[in-house]
Amino acid sequence: MPSLTDITHLIIDMDGVLYRGDQPMPRLREFFAFLRERPIPFILATNNSTRTPQEYADKLAGMGVVVSPAEILVSGQATARFLAREYPKGTRVHVFGMPALKQAMTDEGFILADDEVQLVVASMDRGVTYEKLKRATLLIRGGARFIATNLDPTNPSEEGLLPGTGSMIAALATASETRPTAIGKPEPTMYHLAMEQMSARPETTAAIGDRVDTDILGGKKAGLITICVLSGSSERAEAEAIGTDLIFDDIAHLLETWNRQA
Ligand SMILES: [Mg+2]
């Protein structure tokens, strides 16, 4: 059974772990102070591609935590980096998604287009319309490869569970009769990219998350130590059922335990 003292690197989910909506978790600043002091290098990795790394860094700064955008990996960036290894710069891509995803694709040298594309990259689009669904569907039916940043069906909010990226992807998959290649958790791709960036090894890297079916499952697929916090989506029973290595109420509980062992 791995223990906290084995951990040299961390890959940390954000929503439900570091904050809930706009509310920081207890001892958030102390948690990061601990990681900096050890030091334990980390990457903050999220499936939610509606914000850029800079926007996430700004959000955390508002909570008193200083994190560089380079320490943040959003599924949109991960998708762009993954595709940049398979397709040359200048490849034409149609993006169904928010400006943050379009930015991630152009940052990797892709050209955004609405026709003659090799790829359709799809994610959450809060401005979804029939015309946009139609355009992406016709391109996929015409032979473009269908890529999804992630398949999360819903996103938690103050109002309840809202349609997530997976809901948009389901519409496109139904209309095009095509299943996408998905990049976000629980696929291990984001964890692989994050480890590569930190030159980390899976045996001493831990994935911290609040969702068993994405964060923890993905961590297991990537061969990492898995840590579930119960401050977000999943309950203790789910975390135990999948064989999560370590379970804590929240990051404050994790920090307290780690401090005692350190
Ligand atoms: Mg989460």
> Domain boundary at 155, 182, 209, which?
182
Identify the CATH number of the domain in which residue 125 sits: 3.40.50.1000
Q: Which of 13, 125, 152, 210 is catalytic?
A: 13
Average pLDDT over every residue of 200-205: 98
Instruction: With a cut of 90, say whether residue 175 has pLDDT above it.
Output: yes
User: What is the per-residue pLDDT across 93-116, written as a single tens digit (0 to 9) for each?
Assistant: 999 999 999 999 999 999 999 999
Judging by beta carbons within 10 Å of its beta carbon (0-12, 13-18, 19+), is residue 96 exposed, middle or buried? buried
pLDDT band with cut points at 50, 70 and 90 for residue 57:
very high
Residue 193 sits in the same domain as residue 250:
yes
- Are residues 37 and 12 part of one domain? yes
Q: Clarify whether residues 169 and 202 are in a common domain.
A: no
Tell how far the Cα of 143 is from the centroid of ligand 1, in angstroms.
34
The pLDDT of residue 158 is: 74
Measured CA to CA in angstroms, residue 128 lies from 98, 132, 157, 190 at distances of: 10, 6, 19, 26
Residues lying with their CB under 5 A of ligand 1, a single-atom ion: 13, 15-16, 210
In which residue are the tokens 């954000």 written? 14
What is the pLDDT confidence band of residue 156, given thresholds at 50, 70 and 90?
confident
Task: Please tell me the predicted confidence (pLDDT) of residue 9.
Answer: 98
70 belongs to a structural domain: no
Judgement on whether residues 151 and 108 belong to the same structural domain of the protein: yes
Tens digit of each residue's pLDDT (9 = 90 or more) over 59-92: 999 999 999 999 999 999 999 999 999 999 999 9
**What is the whole-number distance in angstroms between the Cα of residue 232 and the centre of ligand 1?**
6
Q: What is the mean pLDDT of residues 136-156?
A: 94
Total number of domains in the chain: 2
Return the percentage of the chain with pLDDT > 70, whole number.
100
Instruction: With cut-offs at 50, 70 and 90, classify the pLDDT of residue 159.
Output: confident
Is 13 one of the catalytic residues?
A: yes
Where is the domain boundary, 182, 213, 246? 182
Give the pLDDT band of residue 40 (cuts 50, 70, 90). Answer: very high
Is there a domain that residue 58 lies in? no
Distance 210 CA to ligand 1 centre (A): 5
Between the CA of 127 and the centroid of ligand 1 the distance, in Å, is: 23
Q: What is the pTM of this model?
A: 0.91
| Mean pLDDT, rounded, for 248-257 | 98
Amino acid at 61: A
* Residue at which a domain ends, from 148, 182, 216: 182
Q: Which domain holds residue 129?
A: 87-182
> Average per-residue pLDDT in the chain?
96
Beta-strand runs (E) in the chain: 9-12, 19-20, 23-24, 42-46, 72-74, 92-96, 111-112, 119-122, 145-148, 154-157, 160-163, 181-182, 205-209, 225-229, 246-248
Percentage of the chain lying above the pLDDT 90 cut = 90
Query: Same domain, yes or no, for 158 and 213?
Result: no
